[in-house]
Structure 1
Amino acid sequence: MNLGLAIFLIILAALLGAVAGFYGARSYMKNYFKKNPPITREMVETMMSQMGQKPSAKKVNQVMNMIKHQSAKN
């Protein structure tokens, strides 16, 4: 087998693997976020009202900032 052909096939296989991996990971993340959506303001307000707290805008903003700060640490 020609050495140039072997190198070409290796490069082609690596490129095809990278493209397939990208689209596979993209599809996985779309499905993950569909099943597990990130926390929204409405969710925080609902949780606070279920716990017996009155969800004021200030409290909701504090909770959202805490969540954002925690996710930035990790």
Structure 2
Amino acid sequence: MGTIWIVLIAILALIAGVALGFFIARRYMMSYLKKNPPINEQMLRTLMMQMGQKPSQKKINQMMRAMNNQNK
């Protein structure tokens, strides 16, 4: 009877640890991506120039706004 309780507590602790670890990792990644966005205006300008387009500031602002709205 005693070993059943020990196994049950161990399983519950494992499940709680996995859930807590997931939420901590998720919060860390969200704050990291907010501080260090994956793409910025300079990277976007370079990308457009490599594709043969002449990037205007209006077009870059529009694409950055679209990307930010998509991430929300």
* TM-score between both structures, scaled by the size of structure 2: 0.59
Q: Give the RMSD, CA atoms, in angstroms.
A: 2.4
Unaligned runs of 5+ residues in structure 2 are: 53-72
The residue aligned with 1:43 is 42
Aligned length: 51
The residue aligned with 1:12 is 12
The offset of 1:61, in angstroms, is 3.3
CA shift digits 1:11-67 (9 cap, x unpaired): 000000000000000000000000000014x3322xx5xxxxxx8x4x3438xxxxx
- Counterpart residue identity of residue 51, structure 2: N
What percentage of residue pairs aligned between the two structures are identical? 37
**Are 1:61 and 2:60 counterparts?**
no
User: CA separation in 1, counterparts of 2:12 and 2:20?
Assistant: 12
After the TM superposition, list the runs of 4 or more consecutive aligned residues in structure 1 that deviate by more than 4 angstroms. Answer: none
The residue aligned with 1:32 is 32
Unaligned runs of 5+ residues in structure 1 are: 49-54, 63-74
User: CA separation in 1, counterparts of 2:51 and 2:15?
Assistant: 45
